[in-house]
Amino acid sequence: MRYLVGCSLLLLTFASLVGCRAGGTKIVGDGVLTEGGFWSYPRYQVVFASLDVPRKPEAAFRCKGIPTARMTFGLIVTADPEAGSKAGAAGLDQTWDQTMIDVKIEDGGGAPLASVHAALRDWALSRSLSRTMLWHPSLRDLAFDRRSLYKIRVNLSRLDPAAGRLRLKPVLEGGGNELP
Burial of 102 (0-12, 13-18, 19+ CB in 10 A): middle
91: pLDDT strictly greater than 80: no
Note the pLDDT tens digit of each residue in 132-173. Answer: 999 999 999 999 999 999 999 999 999 888 777 889 999 999
Distances in whole angstroms, Cα of residue 111 to Cα of each of 47, 69, 117, 124: 22, 20, 17, 26
4: pLDDT strictly greater than 60: no
pTM of the shown model = 0.79
The answer to the question of residue 162 being in a domain is: yes
pLDDT band at residue 111 under the 50/70/90 scheme = very high
Weakest-pLDDT range from 3-17, 39-53, 89-103, 123-137: 3-17
Instruction: State the CATH number of the domain containing residue 32.
Output: 2.60.120
The answer to the question of residue 15 being in a domain is: no
The answer to the question of residue 114 being in a domain is: yes
Q: What is the pLDDT of residue 37?
A: 86
Domain span including residue 138: 22-174
The answer to the question of residue 11 being in a domain is: no
Q: What is the pLDDT of residue 16?
A: 43
CA dist 136 and 13 (Å) reads: 39
The answer to the question of residue 126 being in a domain is: yes
The answer to the question of residue 35 being in a domain is: yes
The answer to the question of residue 3 being in a domain is: no
pLDDT band at residue 15 under the 50/70/90 scheme = very low
The answer to the question of residue 52 being in a domain is: yes
pLDDT band at residue 1 under the 50/70/90 scheme = low
Note the pLDDT tens digit of each residue in 25-51. Answer: 688 999 999 998 888 888 999 999 999
The count of domains in the chain is: 1
pLDDT band at residue 18 under the 50/70/90 scheme = very low
Distances in whole angstroms, Cα of residue 17 to Cα of each of 10, 22, 137, 175: 11, 12, 32, 15
